[in-house]
Structure 1
Amino acid sequence: MSDAIRRLTLSHVVLPLAQPVSDAKVLTGRQRPLTETVLLFVEVETEDGHRGTGFSYSKRAGGRAQYRHLADVAEVAIGQDPSDIARIYDSLLWAGASVGRSGVATQAIAALDVALWDLKARRADLPLAKLLGAHRDSCRVYNTSGGFLQASVDEVKERASASLAAGIGGIKIKVGQPDWAEDLRRVAALREHLGDAPLMVDANQQWDRARARRMCRALEEFDLVWIEEPLDAWDAVGHADLSRTVDTPIATGEMLTSVPEHVALLDAGYRGIVQPDAPRIGGITPFLRFATLASHAGLALAPHYAMEIHLHLAAAYPTEPWVEHFEWLDPLFEERVEIADGRIRVPDRPGLGITLSDRMRALTRETATFGR
């Protein structure tokens, strides 16, 4: 007899940052400084006693909306076989179909989808990467959290040096300021400071097509690993054109919230680096669907944020990926990722290899339980 989902526990968690951070969207007046990350955690229990944990997140508005949407549809999963992840996913999509199949709706479902994959791997007593079919036991890793624009160049240099000394392999800094000349000065300073260490830049969607072309040409001399989100995230044609006309690889995809939105890049002839985010695209199930298409198209992979999840997915990608390091979520988990020699190692613990901490419980604002 097959197992069945007995109980789901949802937690709405607000994690403050140690200090506010700003990217180009703040300097152009489109957003306020980031002060907290809001997370939706899901804990799954089955009739046979198996458990799994997953999460989704929002860096600004929308975190509570994710929590409320999943609370509206979660009951649909009760009694279903936890192994039937794709079927459960579709049933949740249909339960909330009136608000669409992207954005908050899929980001809410993502937390449960991740929990079900964690459960399946734990039940098999395998790390998730091994369950999926790993190509490697570790991935290249780069740090972003030290490169935000509220920090001075000297502060960014200091943090970059600390990251490299801790075993991280690459550094990403933010650009896209109204003063494009200041962007170039910051990049030049970091390139000189880092020598030949891998360096990436991220414009956070703040250039139009004309400015992006000029900036990408001006940045060529710095031997960057990639230029990220030079254009609006939904400008598939613009990103595709840039990816075919400049030597430095163009990276994008982190803001997209469904497989069709990512496929638009492929349809436009994109030749850059794809950055799907499992909690944003809707979970591990849709992430894997798009990853298959991206691999078939010969695209490199560098998943966005949530390294606790993406380390496993990157390890299962056919070609060598990059994983983004953010320490922001560390307080929520008992374990720490292992980083050395420029690489982040897949844990040998079952599932995602994470255990929720007492700090996560203390930061929980609201919970809801479904089933028994």
Structure 2
Amino acid sequence: MVTMTHTVPPAAQPADATAPDRIAWLRLSSVTLPLATPISDAKVLTGRQKPMTEVALLFVELATEQGHEGIGFSYSKRAGGPGQFAHAREIADDLIGEDPSDIGRIWTKLVWAGASVGRSGLATQAIAAFDIALWDLKAKRAGLPLAKLLGAHRDSVRCYNTSGGFLHTPTEQVLENATASLDAGIGGIKIKVGHPDGKADLARLTAVREHIGDDVPLMVDANQQWDRRTAQRLGRAMEEFDLVWIEEPLDAYDAQGHAALAASLDTPIATGEMLASVAEHMELIRHGACDVVQPDAPRIGGITPFLKLAALAEHHHLPLAPHFAMEIHLHLAAAYPLEPWVEHFDWLEPLFNERQEIRDGRMLLPTRPGLGFTLSDRARAWTVATHESGTRP
């Protein structure tokens, strides 16, 4: 455990928005968020993974010579958190002295700093935290919420809850969780499927649909559990439930299988959350393998590559439903031209002082500049390692 003293940063001084500025200081924080209950999905039931008990997060805090600040984060579920922190620590010094507005050039510089480990996966997920912090800083400097800086199409986004429907949760509790989510103003419900016996999935799905009624948007997520034959069979059996989508029915890299499934079923196929680059998403889109694209900004390298993917998805008229990290994805979804979804997870809420406002099935865009969140005292207490570069103004 690293003991830290937190000092309030000096307020940013008024400055010409066009005046040159430089990154003077940054801090990396490795934070381990404990989960109240071990989390299980289909991959746990088949022995591929162990129940998830914590989330590892990499936070980046930046400050410039003129006193502007930004914060961003990436994350890892199960293994990988220490690796992200280690890679970020290696490349952190490369940001000192850079103009924080040159986000695209900085992203490329950081990628090539660690080019031998590739342009996807752990390396770019570490870069994502820097990239997101730079976009947060840029929006704060402009005095705008990030979505407004990007060019928002709406001030709220449809939202659905996932955290109440995992496979470790008994069906009766899933029903209670669904009621609580809808009472809180959340617009849709997603439940996990992928039991070894597909009949258990259908029974669970039947119970949820009967409980919430026919008018509430309902999704299912198989977490890559099925083979092609099983996905076809269960996908057809699920048609009667009028699902918004079936998520990750097959291995994340099985573009041809997803394409065949999307062509054969009336229910839309959603996938993409496990992919770690724009190039991997392009392969899905090229094959027509998804009806709904589900990128994760921290996983694909940050907001800079996310915007490239969003433009590609719009060109193909694909709905967008970013995965996890609603604190970031709310802004990116609000700036997407086609009506999107954002995923409500309450797991990360203890890390932040702010809460997302939800009303009438939609998550409201915060009016605070930037991403609109600050780290809580609990996040500081869960910090297990830090690294600083440069000198704080």
What CA distance in whole angstroms lies between the structure 1 residues aligned with 2:260 and 2:367? 41
Cα distance, 1:77 vs structure 2: 1.2
Instruction: Give yes or no for contact 1:240–1:272 (8 Å, CA) kept in 2.
Output: no
What CA distance in whole angstroms lies between the structure 1 residues aligned with 2:383 and 2:133? 18
**Within the alignment, does 1:339 sit opposite 2:326 as a pair?**
no
What CA distance in whole angstroms lies between the structure 2 residues aligned with 1:199 and 1:40? 32
Amino acid at match of 1:52: G
User: Cα deviations across residues 116-155 of structure 1 (Å, max 9, x unaligned)?
Assistant: 0000000000000000000000000000000001111100
Q: Any gaps of 5 or more consecutive residues in structure 2?
A: 1-18
Which position in structure 1 is the counterpart of 2:151? 133
Instruction: Give yes or no for contact 1:42–1:54 (8 Å, CA) kept in 2.
Output: yes
Counterpart pick for 2:342 among 311, 315, 323: 323
Instruction: Give yes or no for contact 2:220–2:247 (8 Å, CA) kept in 1.
Output: yes
Instruction: Show the 5 A alignment for 1:164-183.
Output: 164-183=182-201
Instruction: Give yes or no for contact 1:278–1:284 (8 Å, CA) kept in 2.
Output: yes
- Runs of 4+ deviating beyond 6 Å: none
Count of residue pairs the alignment pairs up: 372
**Within the alignment, does 1:360 sit opposite 2:360 as a pair?**
no
Which position in structure 1 is the counterpart of 2:389? 370
TM-score for both structures, normalised by structure 1: 0.99
Instruction: Show the 5 A alignment for 1:262-341.
Output: 262-341=281-360
Counterpart pick for 1:64 among 71, 77, 82: 82
What CA distance in whole angstroms lies between the structure 2 residues aligned with 1:271 and 1:244? 10
Which position in structure 1 is the counterpart of 2:136? 118
SS for the counterpart of 2:342 is strand
Counterpart pick for 1:101 among 83, 96, 119: 119
Distance change (3 Å), C-alpha of 1:285 and 1:167: same
Cα distance, 1:236 vs structure 2: 1.4
Which position in structure 1 is the counterpart of 2:9? none
User: Cα deviations across residues 35-79 of structure 1 (Å, max 9, x unaligned)?
Assistant: 111000000111111000000001110011001001111111111
Cα distance, 1:271 vs structure 2: 4.5
Which position in structure 2 is the counterpart of 1:246? 265
What CA distance in whole angstroms lies between the structure 2 residues aligned with 1:279 and 1:7? 22
What CA distance in whole angstroms lies between the structure 2 residues aligned with 1:268 and 1:207? 19
Counterpart pick for 1:86 among 82, 104, 108: 104
Which position in structure 1 is the counterpart of 2:63? 45
Instruction: Show the 5 A alignment for 1:214-233.
Output: 214-233=233-252
SS for the counterpart of 1:148 is coil
User: Cα deviations across residues 186-238 of structure 1 (Å, max 9, x unaligned)?
Assistant: 01111111102111000000001111111111110100000000000111121
TM-score for both structures, normalised by structure 2: 0.94
Instruction: Give yes or no for contact 1:173–1:200 (8 Å, CA) kept in 2.
Output: yes
Cα distance, 1:270 vs structure 2: 2.9
RMSD across aligned positions (CA): 0.7
What CA distance in whole angstroms lies between the structure 1 residues aligned with 2:152 and 2:259? 29
Instruction: Give yes or no for contact 1:244–1:271 (8 Å, CA) kept in 2.
Output: no
User: Cα deviations across residues 99-132 of structure 1 (Å, max 9, x unaligned)?
Assistant: 0000000100000000000000000000000000
Amino acid at match of 2:294: Q
Cα distance, 1:266 vs structure 2: 1.3
Which position in structure 2 is the counterpart of 1:145? 163
Distance change (3 Å), C-alpha of 1:271 and 1:253: closer
